[in-house]
């Protein structure tokens, strides 16, 4: 058994305490520590969805028009899924198998679909 005599008190708040107080503050939209990860992911998902439905065609993967620039409306525009020949490929943007150097090709192959799916859920 051990006995602790005295009290340990911090006189000065460090960066973690300041951030913790700000993140847990009562406000209309509660941020919390999970918000540090979830808010950027939500913005990435929305940005990918708007980019995919506005500019990216699925002509190369499915032979369909799927963007606003090709004449689709809000109900018929969609982000192109990867082609069936790519199976369940993630089409990562970075890494050894990534398409980081050719963003246009990555979008045409269906990379935005997995990007939005992984950042939105």
Query: What residues contact 77, with CB distance under 8 A and at least 6 apart?
Result: 53, 54, 66, 67, 68
User: In whole angstroms, what is the distance from residue 19 CA to residue 3 CA?
Assistant: 32
Structurally, how many domains does the chain consist of?
Answer: 1
Q: Compute mean pLDDT per 10 residues along the chain, 121 residues long, and list them.
A: 64 81 71 78 89 85 84 84 72 68 80 84 64
Is residue 57 situated within a structural domain?
A: yes
Is residue 59 situated within a structural domain?
A: yes
Q: Helix H segments across the chain? A: 15-23, 32-54, 59-62, 103-108, 111-120
Is residue 110 situated within a structural domain?
A: yes
Is residue 100 situated within a structural domain?
A: yes
pTM of the model: 0.64
Is residue 16 situated within a structural domain?
A: no
Structure tokens at 111: 């990379």
Q: For residue 96, with 0-12 CB atoms within 10 Å meaning exposed, 13-18 middle and 19 or more buried, which class applies? A: exposed
Structural domain boundaries enclosing 90: 41-120
Predicted confidence at residue 98, as pLDDT, reads: 66
Is residue 76 situated within a structural domain?
A: yes
Predicted confidence at residue 32, as pLDDT, reads: 72
Is residue 14 situated within a structural domain?
A: no
Is residue 2 situated within a structural domain?
A: no
58: β partners: 64
């Amino acid at each position: 058994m051990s006995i602790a005599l005295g009290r340990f008190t911090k006189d000065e708040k460090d960066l973690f305490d300041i951030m913790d107080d700000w993140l847990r503050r009562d406000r209309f939209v509660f941020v919390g520590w999970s918000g540090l990860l979830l808010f950027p992911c939500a913005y990435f998902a929305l940005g990918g969805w708007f980019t995919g439905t506005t500019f990216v065609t699925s002509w190369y993967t499915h032979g369909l028009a799927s963007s606003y620039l090709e004449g689709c409306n809000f109900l018929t525009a969609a982000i192109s899924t990867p082609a069936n020949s790519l199976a369940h490929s993630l089409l990562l943007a970075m890494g050894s198998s990534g398409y980081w150097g050719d963003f246009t090709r990555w979008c045409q192959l269906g990379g935005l679909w997995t990007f939005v799916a992984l950042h939105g859920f």
